[in-house]
């Protein structure tokens, strides 16, 4: 038998679910405990932020919200490996990555609270994309960004994240395919949390790993324990380095679990068993890293409490800022449609303003 | 006989037809165990199995193409787009194949398929969950575009859509999914796919609308009645092929017309009705036809969305404008 | 100064802008070595390299998404859909992102991109190569839809489209790609994107059209002139945002209007213009506005296609109908 | 290093370019020389048919035409392995497969001659799809057909063909992905002829084989010499068997070469070198099979001449039938739009008829 091609996909994990090292060759960044503490702190604050969001929704102060519970290692791992000049294109729940890059909780609240201004990031890089609801489309934005960087000969990388469900969409395939064909500086991370709303991973694809989708595009790929931030970040660093060095694109599958409902509009008990969720909690990325840090003497209960208190303060401030944001004037509907409002729309804008005044006074 | 909501009427129609016709299958994202994100397909997978109520991979292009393939091979697929705002990737299959295969093959291959999608704004949903894009389909020959606005019409029109030998877009106004209940006998009786519904008789002005805005139009008619103005209200419901005769008859009688829809005004389907009225009822018009629509901008996120949607006030104002000029 | 065709004017505009603005890039299928299947991008890859004139993989969704990504990162991409009939897979990116990113981000991210596509019928092409679907885009807020009908307008409007800070759909009437030549100075002068072109003054009736049908409209005006009827001819060219004022001014003067387009009639862009005329010029209209359009069916394969497209005869007939009634 | 998954892709070839057997284990069908002669004859008649089409186009009797020159082994291999109850969904140039299944040359001429009636196959299975111009979309029609067969528990297989270019389109990915997830009886054949109009294979994808795209969907896959009909048909038979037995879908990459222009509207000399084409002619599938058959004593020059003469007769008859077909009446535009013409269109139909009468007399 003659062989046309052969492939092998690596699985990467440094910390097991109890925070024990399963291999000795820790990457350089993981040896810097101060930095690891910073990553841990962001994972914790992401979780505090997330709980606050859900609470806001439950009390009617937010619309539908998509929680990131359980994804903290994957998301922070992605965000923290990137440089500021790189560009990030997310779906909707990758707050851990975004907070690292400077998106403010108040902005997240505004977006899910029905106010477009949440997308006008004040501190995060202006070249990071807005939340992207149409599944998969962000992958092509990242590919286009990568192409722009390549055309301009800039040493920058475009990163996109996509769900297990989203990796079924033609856009994902299109993005990795053109990235392979044109050697674009792209890193596509499949955050496989096992569910796409109610649809389990096995209904999305007959492939044994999602990482292997990269083979279709001729790209290097790896599957990592997405609840092990060391593994996620190491895979990211390798992929980013390759991309930055002109070696082209990569795919990473980060295997994790969506511990919460899909969004606050969803009730996961309708479609998945409690056992599965219970089992998934044993792999929770946050205590895992905490145990590892504690074993190294870099973290303890006092620090945890202090940090949690700081996070609470932070979120309170963010919530205040959010709640104090006045609704946009009605003409905001028109004012960001075109660089300049076309003459044909002037009357409509005025009509909206007049009607609003009339209704209010 | 139980009282049911519009969404329950959708489920009832699906269950009825699946029970009576083995070739009917449902496919889409989350339509199985979860019963759809709005519960339109609730309980169907339990009753009819995983293949006839199929959770697909997350790719609208795939859903649309499977639907065409199923239909060509003799099935009657009912595909769901989870929200109408996610229907774009389905368009190539719908426009290039579903609407054309009968034409292309001189009748050899046909596509008796239905595409369902929750449609429209007003439920404080996230971005892309509030679109009203019926006009993307009203100019595709070979398609039917249907938009029910009551439980009974949802039931009867969905049955008709499934039984129709040609492809039908079936948009469901999610804002009124659970607005009220009415008795809808589960008798398998379909409604015609090419007849507008005159919901209220009137003599002074005709309000023409469809979808969730039927609610506002009826309320506007009430408000106008209080001022002694008699408004006729027509629910177009089957946009294309259009039953223009019913509209023309009414406007010939009243001489005045206000068209109400929540999609943006420019090139919305209201333009077509206005153009037809001009062409065919010009000499009966006592005033120019008015359009009350969404503005020519994207439906805003929910803090502002109610200011975008046509209000009772705007409809009443427009009706009065048509009356002011004669 | 050389005389050039419409397609050559497209190439000239692309070459001009690429030479003067490094951020302009061209992408699509076969746009590179082959210079596009109609030669619109002929010679550009040689001049500007493989990255700035990029042959993409065969996936319109990919092309559209790359275009959005490029534009957001500060490039000015000009994407090509090989034929307008293959544009459907681009729609999600165009409608959900290109047209919305400025709106979504309150101006933080913008999409200064152009989508070019050969448009319309009449060249005896295979199936799906003759579509006129401008109406798929005319109801998307945040977009511009442009359709030039002469070499000079193609040059000036394409330059304007590329320079415009917002996304522009640029449809090229392929039937008249090589219909005639005219002098088009390569001076980098853009034309405004929101002004209709009055191609011929007249007093009795206004013919409003765009794209390849401008040819038939002008011929109809000639034929009418022979019968002593003076027709004004307007090339809309920039469909949205619409310069309604120019049309209104003309129709206010003539009192009569025939709208001509090759897309199917129902819910075509002609309906919008007719509706606007009703709303804003009702009392100046001496006769109902007429539409002469493609029929409400798919454009047939080429043995029948010329019977589908609006003919001079149909336009003349319609114009006379508007004159018969007063 | 821990391994998540491994893959190997076989390359299959029985006959080298000179018609010499490169492996001994000929499949059963190839031992039946009568059958092999039938396959050869169809390859030849396909080529004669194709040349006739191009000639018709050159003399203005056909519109644009897409030639199949060089694809005869791939196409006949595909068509001949299928059963009549299976369903075939092609792009536009797979005449070899279609002729085998009963499509008549006159129908091909009609379609490319601007007459929809070419799609109303008189003798081919009614469940075979029409020509499909929007690239890739036919793959999903086949997947949907396969799903119908599975739902109805029929032992039938849906086959689609797709080009190297077309395999970049999301539709192809969507089709193999859902086929993998749902174990559908689908066989997707990538007919890799190295070019998509002017775009070479390497610009479509960075993958070393197109066969490996199947890995993304978790499907069995194989790369075959697409100019060796024995290899194509063997791979097809294996894949069809698996599908018919409920073992799900497969992908086959048939490596061939487009010896002609993309269509009669194309001029390939604009974008590809003569050397490449010359080299490709040395792998021509037709003489290769002929040499093999001649070596076995199953074919000779006399038979060749006789068959060519028969083919010419056949095509002459088909061309006559085509040229004698009257143009459809103008109302045909309306008569196949809906099962019943909607009332709202009756007037338009009449208008078209009236106008046509008026213009003609
Ligand atoms: C094109 C499109 N189709 C459908 C939806 C509705 N929808 C929102 S999230 C979701 C599931 C996404 O699952 P996955 O990609 O796994 O991401 P996760 O939510 O698990 O992070 C669906 C179907 C959408 N937003 N966009
Ligand atoms: C969706 C779509 N985009 C573009 C085209 C135009 N087009 C026709 S054939 C072709 C190239 C196809 O190449 P490939 O898939 O390799 O098939 P081949 O022609 O080589 O058999 C293109 C781009 C089309 N028909 N459909
Ligand atoms: Mg998921
Ligand atoms: Mg090819």
d(CA D147, CA D248): 11
- The verdict on the CB of residue D258 being under 6 Å from ligand 2 is yes
pLDDT digits over B72-128, tens only? 999 999 999 999 999 999 999 999 999 999 999 999 999 999 999 999 999 999 999
- Provide the pLDDT confidence category of residue B2 given band limits of 50, 70 and 90: confident
Q: Domains plus CATH for chain B?
A: 3-183 (3.40.50.970), 197-323 (3.40.50.920)
> CA A303, CA A285: separation in Å to the nearest integer?
18
Q: Which residues contact D304 (CB under 8 A, 6 or more apart)?
A: D44, D290
pLDDT level of residue B1 (50, 70, 90 thresholds): low
**End-to-end CA gap in chain D:** 83
Q: Mind giving me the DSSP string for D270-295? A: GTS-HHHHHHHHTT-HHHHHHHHHHH
Residues A253 and A361 in one domain: no
Distances (CA, A) of D255 to A332, B138, C86, D10, D260: 56, 43, 27, 13, 16
- Strands B168-173 vs B114-119: parallel, antiparallel or unpaired: parallel
Q: Which of A179, A180, C66 is nearest to D209 (CA)?
A: A180
- Given a cut of 90, whether residue C10 has pLDDT beyond it is yes
Spatial separation of the C-alpha atoms in residues A87 and A149, rounded to whole Å: 10
Evaluate whether residue A6 is within a structural domain. Answer: no
pLDDT tens digit sequence for D100-110: 999 999 999 99
Is residue A4 a part of any domain in this protein? no
Cα–Cα distance measured from residue A70 to residue A74, given in angstroms and rounded to the nearest whole number: 9
| Alpha-carbon span B119 to B221, nearest angstrom | 24
Residue B168: beta bridge partners? B114, B144
Phi, psi of D10 (to 5 degrees): -80, 145
Q: What is the pLDDT of residues C208-225, one digit of tens each?
A: 999 999 999 999 999 999
Same domain, D119 and D21: yes
Residue range B15-41: average pLDDT? 98
First to last CA, chain A: 83
Are A108 and B296 in contact by the 8 Å Cβ rule? The answer is no
Residue D6, domain member (yes or no): no
**Same-domain check for residues D277 and D317:** yes
Q: To which H or E segment does residue D338 belong? A: none
Strand-pair category, C144-146 with C238-240: antiparallel
Q: Is residue A267 part of a domain?
A: yes
Q: Residues A61, A97: one domain?
A: yes
Are A299 and A353 within one domain?
A: no
Quick one: average pLDDT of A100-110? 98
Q: Strand order in C53-55's β-sheet? A: C53-55, C24-28, C76-80, C114-119, C168-173, C144-146, C238-240
Q: How far apart are CA D270 and CA D261, in angstroms?
A: 10
Q: Which residues does C57 contact at the CB level (< 8 Å), separation at least 6? A: A174, A177, A178, A181, D165, D168, D199, D203, D204, D205
C107-123 pLDDT per residue, tens = 999 999 999 999 999 99
Contact between D143 and B59 under an 8 Å Cβ cutoff? The reply is no
Instruction: Give residue-wise pLDDT tens across range B191-242.
Output: 999 999 999 999 999 999 999 999 999 999 999 999 999 999 999 999 999 9
pLDDT at C1 over 70: no
Tell me, yes or no, whether D108 and D189 share the same domain: yes
Residue C289 pLDDT exceeds 90 = yes
pLDDT for res A359: 83
A308 and A334 assigned to the same domain: no
Peptide bond into C241 cis (omega under 30): yes
The Cα–Cα gap between C168 and D130 comes to 35
My answer on whether A306 and A356 are in the same domain is no
- What's residue B144's pLDDT? 98
pLDDT tens per residue, range D190-245: 999 999 999 999 999 999 999 999 999 999 999 999 999 999 999 999 999 999 99
| Separation of CA D357 from chain center | 41
Cβ-nearest to A219 among D180, D203, D206: D206
Q: What is the mean pLDDT of chain B?
A: 97
Mutant choice from B58, B307, B310 vs A, greatest count of A C-beta within 10 A: B58
Task: Return the active site residues of C.
Answer: 129
DSSP A254: E
- Indicate whether this model's pTM tops 0.95: yes
Q: Are C81 and C87 in contact (CB under 8 A)?
A: yes
ipTM of the complex: 0.98
Helix or strand run (H / E) with residue A4: strand A2-12
D300 shares a domain with D334: no
Which pLDDT band holds residue D79 (cuts at 50, 70, 90)?
very high
Q: How far is CA C109 from the centre of its chain?
A: 26
Read off φ and ψ for residue D140, nearest 5 degrees.
Answer: -75, -30
φ/ψ of residue A225, rounded to 5:
-70, 110
Q: Is the pLDDT of residue B320 over 60?
A: yes
User: Which residues, listed in sequence order, are joined to residue B145 by a DSSP beta bridge?
Assistant: B169, B240
Ligand 2 atom nearest to CA at C58:
23
Could you report the per-residue pLDDT of A218-256, keeping only the tens digit for each?
Answer: 999 999 999 999 999 999 999 999 999 999 999 999 999
Q: Which residues of A touch B32 (CB under 8 A)?
A: 198-199
Q: Taking residues A5-29, what's their average pLDDT?
A: 97
Say how far apart CA A98 and CA C201 lie, in whole Å.
Answer: 59
pLDDT band (50, 70, 90) for residue C326: low
Q: Which residue, among C219, C218, C167, C164, has the nearest Cα to C190 in the 3D structure?
A: C164
Q: Which chain D residue's Cα is nearest to B143? A: D338
What average pLDDT score do residues D119-128 get?
98
What does DSSP say about strands C144-146 and C182-183: parallel, antiparallel, or unpaired? unpaired
Do the Cβ atoms of C205 and C256 come closer than 8 Å? yes
- What is the average per-residue pLDDT within C15-23? 98
Name the DSSP class of B146: E
Which site among A135, A246, A338, A348 would you substitute to test the C interface, given the most C Cβ atoms closer than 10 Å to its Cβ? A338
List the single residue in A with minimal CA-CA distance to C144.
A338
Phi, psi of C229 (to 5 degrees): -105, 130
The DSSP code for A84 is T
CB C119 within 8 A of CB C149: no
Q: What is the pLDDT of residues A272-298, one digit of tens each?
A: 999 999 999 999 999 999 999 999 999
Same domain, A351 and A227: no
Asked if residue D57 belongs to a domain, the reply is yes
Number of domains into which chain A is organized: 2
Does residue D152 belong to any structural domain of this protein? yes
Angle at C26 between CA C25 and CA C27, to 5 degrees: 125
Residues with Cβ within 8 Å of D195's Cβ and at least 6 positions away in sequence, in order, are: D164, D165, D201, D258, D262, D268, D272
Helix (H, G, I), strand (E, B), or coil: what is residue B170? strand
Tell me the CA distances in angstroms from D30 to D15, D226, D229, one per residue in order: 11, 16, 10
Q: Is the pLDDT of residue B326 over 60?
A: no
D164 lines ligand 2 (CB under 6 A): yes
Question: A200 near A164, Cβ under 8 Å?
Answer: no
Question: How many CB atoms lie under 10 A from the CB of residue D123?
Answer: 10
Does residue B185 sit in helix, strand or coil?
Answer: coil
Chains in contact with D, where contact requires at least 3 CB pairs less than 8 Å apart: A, B, C
Please indicate whether, in this complex, the C-beta atoms of B278 and C288 are within 8 angstroms of each other. yes
CA-to-CA distance for A196 and A136, rounded, in angstroms? 13
A216 and D218 within 8 Å at the Cβ level: the answer is no
Q: What pLDDT is stored for residue A231 in this prediction?
A: 98
Whether residue B232 contacts residue B202, with contact meaning beta carbons closer than 8 Å, is answered with yes
User: Which of D50, D166, D171 to mutate to test ligand 2, by most ligand atoms within 8 A of the CB atom?
Assistant: D166
Residue at A303 is within a domain: yes
Q: Read off the pLDDT of residues D231-282 as tens digits, 9 standing for 90 and up.
A: 999 999 999 999 999 999 999 999 999 999 999 999 999 999 999 999 999 9
Active site residues of B: 129
pLDDT of residue D361: 57
Residue D3 in any domain: the answer is: no
- Identify the three-state secondary structure at position A271: coil
| One domain, residues A302 and A336 | no
Task: Identify whether the C-beta of residue A167 lies closer than 8 Å to the C-beta of residue A128.
Answer: no
Q: Which of residues 126-145 of C touch A (CB under 8 A)?
A: 141-142
- Judge whether residue A114 has pLDDT over 70: yes
DSSP state of C148: -
Cβ distance B297 to C104 less than 8 Å, yes or no, reads no
Contact D135 C127 (CB under 8 A): no
Q: Are A77 and A28 in contact (CB under 8 A)?
A: no
pLDDT band of residue D360 (cuts 50, 70, 90) is confident
The answer to whether the CB atoms of A356 and B307 lie below 8 A apart is yes
Output the CA B61–ligand 3 centroid distance in Å: 19
Look up the CATH number of the domain holding residue A117.
Answer: 3.40.50.970
Query: With contact defined as beta carbons under 8 Å apart, do A131 and A103 qualify?
Result: no
| pLDDT band of A1, cuts 50, 70, 90 | confident
Number of C-beta neighbours around residue D315 at 10 A = 22
Range of the domain at D361: 330-361
DSSP string, A151-166: HTT----EEEEEETTG
Do A214 and A358 lie in one domain? The reply is no
pLDDT tens digits, residue range C62-83? 999 999 999 999 999 999 999 9
* Separation between Cα atoms, residue D158 and residue D83, nearest integer Å: 10
Rounded to 5 degrees, φ, ψ at B57 are -60, 160
> What is the spatial distance between Cα D168 and Cα D210, in angstroms, rounded to a whole number?
10
In this prediction, residue A361 carries a pLDDT of 57
């Amino acid at each position: 038998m003659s062989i046309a091609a052969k492939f092998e996909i690596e699985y990467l994990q440094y910390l097991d679910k109890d925070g024990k090292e399963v291999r000795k060759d820790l990457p350089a960044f993981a040896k810097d405990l101060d930095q690891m503490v910073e990553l841990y702190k962001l994972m914790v604050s992401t979780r505090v932020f997330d709980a606050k969001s859900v609470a806001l929704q439950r009390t009617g102060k937010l619309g539908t919200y998509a929680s990131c519970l359980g994804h903290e290692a994957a998301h922070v791992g992605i965000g923290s490996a990137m440089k500021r000049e790189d560009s990030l294109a997310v779906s909707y729940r990758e707050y851990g990555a975004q907070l690292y890059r400077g998106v403010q909780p108040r902005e997240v609240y505004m977006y899910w609270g029905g106010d477009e201004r949440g997308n006008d990031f004040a501190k995060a890089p202006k070249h990071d994309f807005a939340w992207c609801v149409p599944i998969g489309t962000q992958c092509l934005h990242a590919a286009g960004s990568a192409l722009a960087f390549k055309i301009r000969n800039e040493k920058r990388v475009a990163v996109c994240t996509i769900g297990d469900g989203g990796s079924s969409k033609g856009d994902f395939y299109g993005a990795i395919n053109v990235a392979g064909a044109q050697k674009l500086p792209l890193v596509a991370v499949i955050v496989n949390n096992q569910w796409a709303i109610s649809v389990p991973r096995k209904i999305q694809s007959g492939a044994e790993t999602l990482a292997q989708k990269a083979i279709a595009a001729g790209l290097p790929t790896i599957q990592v324990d997405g609840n092990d931030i060391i593994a996620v970040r190491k895979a990211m660093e390798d992929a980013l380095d390759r991309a930055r060095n002109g070696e082209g694109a990569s795919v990473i599958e980060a295997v994790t679990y969506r511990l919460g409902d899909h969004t606050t509009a969803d009730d996961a008990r309708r479609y998945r068993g409690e056992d599965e969720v219970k089992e998934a909690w044993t792999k929770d990325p946050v205590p895992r890293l905490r145990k590892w840090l504690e074993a190294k003497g870099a973290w303890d209960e006092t620090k945890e409490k202090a940090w949690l208190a700081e996070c609470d303060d932070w979120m309170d401030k963010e919530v205040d800022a959010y709640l104090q944001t006045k609704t946009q004037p009605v003409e905001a509907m028109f004012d960001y449609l075109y660089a300049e409002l076309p003459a044909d729309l002037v009357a409509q804008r005025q009509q909206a303003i007049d009607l609003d005044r009339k209704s209010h006074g | 006989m139980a009282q049911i909501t519009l969404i329950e009427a959708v489920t009832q129609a699906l269950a009825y037809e699946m029970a009576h016709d083995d070739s009917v299958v449902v496919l889409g994202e989350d339509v199985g165990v979860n019963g759809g994100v709005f519960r339109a397909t609730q309980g169907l997978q339990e009753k009819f199995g995983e293949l006839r109520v199929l959770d697909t991979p997350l790719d609208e292009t795939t859903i649309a193409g499977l639907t065409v393939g199923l239909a060509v091979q003799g099935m009657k697929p009912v595909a769901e787009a989870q929200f109408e705002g996610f229907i774009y990737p389905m368009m190539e299959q719908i426009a290039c194949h579903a609407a054309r295969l009968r034409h292309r093959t001189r009748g050899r291959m046909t596509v008796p398929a239905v595409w369902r999608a929750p449609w429209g704004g007003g439920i404080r949903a996230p971005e892309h969950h509030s679109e009203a894009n019926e006009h993307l389909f009203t100019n595709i020959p070979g398609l039917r575009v249907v938009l029910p606005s009551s439980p009974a019409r949802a039931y009867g029109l969905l049955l008709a859509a499934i039984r129709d030998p040609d492809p039908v877009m079936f948009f469901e106004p999610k804002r009124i999914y659970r607005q009220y209940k009415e008795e809808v006998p589960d008798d398998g009786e379909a409604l015609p796919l090419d007849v507008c519904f005159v919901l209220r008789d009137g003599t002074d002005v005709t309000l023409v609308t469809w979808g969730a805005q039927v609610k506002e139009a009826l309320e506007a008619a009430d408000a106008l009645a209080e001022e002694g103005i008699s408004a006729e209200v027509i629910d177009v419901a089957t946009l294309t092929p259009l039953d223009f005769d019913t509209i023309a008859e009414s406007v010939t009688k009243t001489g005045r017309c206000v068209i109400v829809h929540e999609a943006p005004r420019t090139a919305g389907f209201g333009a077509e009705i206005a153009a037809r009225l001009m062409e065919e009822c010009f000499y009966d018009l006592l005033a120019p036809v008015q359009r009350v629509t969404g503005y020519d901008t994207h439906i805003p996120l929910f803090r502002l969305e109610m200011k975008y949607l046509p209000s009772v006030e705007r409809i009443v104002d427009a009706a009065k404008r048509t009356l002011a000029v004669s």
